[in-house]
Amino acid sequence: MKGAVMRSQRGLTMFFAMIMLLLLTLFAVSAIQLLGGNFRIVSNMASQKAAEGASQQGLERMISNLANFIAPPTSDTTLTIQNGSSEKFDVTVKGPKCIAELPAPGYSVTYALAPKRTQWELQANTKDPTLGGAAEVHQGVSVLMPAGSCR
Higher pLDDT, 108 or 9: 108
Task: Work out how many domains the chain is built from and give that number.
Answer: 1
What is the tens place of the pLDDT at every residue in 3-52? 666 665 667 888 888 999 999 999 999 988 888 888 888 888 888 888 88
* Residue 83 lies inside a defined structural domain of this protein: yes
* Residue 131 lies inside a defined structural domain of this protein: yes
* Residue 23 lies inside a defined structural domain of this protein: yes
Give pLDDT, residue 119: 92
Q: What is the pTM of this model?
A: 0.70
- Which structural domain range is residue 136 located in? 2-145
Long-range contacts of 139-146 (CB under 8 A, 24+ apart): 139/56, 139/59, 139/63, 141/63, 141/96, 142/117, 142/118, 143/66, 143/69, 143/117, 143/118, 144/104, 144/115, 144/116, 144/117, 144/118, 145/69, 145/70, 145/115, 145/116, 145/118, 146/113, 146/115, 146/116
* Residue 151 lies inside a defined structural domain of this protein: no
Give pLDDT, residue 9: 61
Higher pLDDT, 132 or 1: 132
Q: Which of 21-25, 126-130, 146-150 has the lowest mean pLDDT?
A: 146-150
Give pLDDT, residue 59: 92
* Residue 150 lies inside a defined structural domain of this protein: no
Q: Which of 84-93, 106-115, 126-135 has the lowest mean pLDDT?
A: 106-115
